[in-house]
């Protein structure tokens, strides 16, 4: 006669719980790796441009639909060691003309940012605690104006869906991978960003931003992509919508140029006051 020893019910339940938790942990690791691989591909496809510049029209739209127009220039200098440096300078209207924001990203730390206020002839450093604040009254925060690298986040792959579900400007047959990215910087104003990335070109077409209360705060959509130098895709129109205030900010890009020979001196603290 054969005897089969059965596990006590408590031990059996414990064993099932452990097996289940290992299964979930393994799945989390897989989706985390897949999300990171997508982020790496986004970064890889946008390397090697050296520098770029653009003229940008910024339109502030309040909940009543009233519009305020601003004009600025944007310069970006590629870095092989960290995220890219950038310099934003306003040329219109007169009350903010000359106002400039300089960003020097840092690996594994909060980025360095300085704001030049010509009316005070003063350069103000933006503290880590204030980076979630509005950039010159727009729906973009100071944090939004910084370039990001892969290691600025941890990741989770969520799903694959038609891009049109997230961004009506896309063809219904184009698929997007959906990933969540979680800021490593403890001073970030966000707990999570849900990112939609199109499969053909690995372009970010939408980001949903979640605030420190884990509430969906705002959504950014990129539209009307154009290809430059047969390699670099850039959206000509970007819109940030604040879901809590119903305000919007639109960025309309023109005169986009690459490889103009920009130097570190042109994106330095000293350059903030030069007005160029």
Helix (H, G, I), strand (E, B) or coil at 109: coil
pLDDT tens, position by position, 202-259 = 999 999 999 999 999 999 999 999 999 999 999 999 999 999 999 999 999 999 999 9
Assess if residue 20 is contained within a domain: no
Assess if residue 1 is contained within a domain: no
CA atoms within 13 A on the CB side of 192: 13
pLDDT of 24 reads: 52
Assess if residue 15 is contained within a domain: no
- Single pTM value for the model: 0.87
Q: How many domains is the chain partitioned into structurally? A: 1
251-to-70, 71, 133, 205 alpha-carbon distances in Å? 10, 10, 18, 14
pLDDT of 219 reads: 98
DSSP strands (E only) in 84-231: 85-92, 100-104, 112-117, 122-125, 153-162, 175-183, 192-198, 204-210, 216-228
Q: Which helix (H) or strand (E) holds 64?
A: none
Mean pLDDT value of segment 138-144 = 96
Assess if residue 195 is contained within a domain: yes
On whether the CB atoms of residues 225 and 234 are closer than 8 A, the answer is yes
Running DSSP on this structure, what letter comes out for residue 141? B
pLDDT of 20 reads: 53
CATH of the domain at 104: 2.50.20.10
Assess if residue 105 is contained within a domain: yes
Domain holding 170, by residue range, is 44-273
């Amino acid at each position: 006669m054969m005897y089969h020893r059965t596990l006590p019910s408590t031990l059996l339940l414990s064993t099932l719980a452990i097996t289940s938790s290992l299964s979930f942990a393994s799945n989390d690791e897989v989706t985390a790796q897949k999300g990171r691989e997508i982020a790496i591909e986004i970064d890889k496809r946008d390397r090697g441009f050296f520098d770029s510049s653009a003229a940008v029209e910024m339109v502030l739209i309040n909940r009543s639909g009233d519009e305020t127009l601003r004009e600025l220039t944007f310069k970006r200098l590629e870095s092989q060691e960290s995220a890219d440096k950038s310099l934003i300078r306003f040329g219109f209207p007169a009350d903010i003309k000359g106002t400039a924001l300089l960003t020097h990203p840092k690996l594994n730390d909060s980025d360095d940012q300085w704001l030049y206020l010509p009316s005070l002839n003063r350069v103000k450093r933006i503290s880590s605690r204030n980076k979630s604040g509005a950039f010159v009254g727009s729906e973009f925060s100071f944090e939004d104006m910084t370039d990001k690298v892969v290691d600025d986040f941890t990741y989770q792959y969520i799903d694959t869906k038609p891009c049109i579900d997230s961004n009506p400007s896309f063809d219904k047959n184009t698929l997007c991978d959906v990933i969540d990215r979680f800021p490593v910087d403890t001073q970030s104003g966000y707990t999570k960003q849900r990112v939609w990335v199109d499969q053909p070109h690995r372009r970010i077409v939408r980001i949903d931003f979640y605030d420190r209360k884990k509430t969906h705060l705002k959504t950014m959509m990129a539209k009307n992509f154009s290809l430059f130098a047969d390699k670099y895709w850039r959206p000509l129109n970007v819109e940030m919508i604040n879901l809590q205030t119903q305000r919007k900010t639109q960025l309309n890009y023109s005169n986009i140029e690459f490889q103009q020979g920009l130097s570190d001196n042109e994106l330095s603290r000293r350059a903030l006051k030069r007005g160029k």
